[in-house]
Amino acid sequence: MTPFAATLRDKDNYVDLTGLAKVRWTTRASGFHAVRPLIKLMDGTFLVGDHADASTTTFLESEFTFAGLRWMKLDIDRVVTVDRYGPLGEASNWAGTPDLSKVDEVGFVDLIPGSGHGSGGYVNVASFEVHGTPVKRGRRALIDSPAGLHRARWPNGVMRLLPECKHRAGVVSLRI
């Protein structure tokens, strides 16, 4: 088994995750597994945040803002953190302060490989909401956008992902 990552994007908009932008998710995790936020910047860089929800016996609904999170670069093909270590004595590879005003994709990641069948360890993301401000994409981004990705409109700056597809005032729900 390998680590797991999932991101979503809107074909017409980036999302501004500055200020009071937040994620609300319902998660369940077992063993040493943890659910962490994942973003893809306009330049294609993937970053994983230092917020983590882990080791819950039941589903846990939590929310957090992007303000103040620290980030590490992620090799999305292998789903592992990458880059060089910091100054002498600093055993981390924190990325600088990324520009969160135009984020291309938002999602979540579990950096630990699964154990296979049984209850050896897992993550379960039952719902995932991103509260941010839509920022129109340029014409080139629309032409270059790859087909086949899950897409959603962001009415009122909210994207909600639930097990079924529903449309309500101010919220779009997608099945993933």
**What percentage of the chain exceeds 90 in pLDDT?**
49
What pLDDT, on the 0 to 100 scale, is given for residue 1? 66
Q: What is the torsional sign of CA 8, 11, 16, 20?
A: negative
The number of beta carbons lying within 10 Å of the beta carbon of residue 44 is: 9
pLDDT tens per residue across span 103-126: 999 999 999 887 766 667 888 899
Range of the domain at 87: 4-8+17-132
- Considering the domain boundaries, does residue 145 fall inside one? no
- Considering the domain boundaries, does residue 50 fall inside one? yes
- Considering the domain boundaries, does residue 156 fall inside one? no
> Which stretch of 56-70, 80-94, 129-143, 155-169 has the lowest confidence by average pLDDT?
155-169
What would the mean pLDDT of 142-155 be, rounded to a whole number?
Answer: 37
- Considering the domain boundaries, does residue 148 fall inside one? no
Whole-angstrom Cα distance, residue 151 to residue 103?
A: 14
Whole-angstrom Cα distance, residue 165 to residue 143?
A: 27
- Considering the domain boundaries, does residue 87 fall inside one? yes
Inform me whether the pLDDT recorded for 147 exceeds 50.
no
- Considering the domain boundaries, does residue 107 fall inside one? yes
What would the mean pLDDT of 49-59 be, rounded to a whole number?
Answer: 89
What domain count does the chain have?
1
- Considering the domain boundaries, does residue 95 fall inside one? yes
What is the average pLDDT value for the chain, to the nearest integer? Answer: 77
DSSP 90-116: ----B-----TTSEEEEEEEE-SPP-S
- Considering the domain boundaries, does residue 102 fall inside one? yes
What pLDDT, on the 0 to 100 scale, is given for residue 91? 61
What would the mean pLDDT of 41-60 be, rounded to a whole number?
Answer: 92
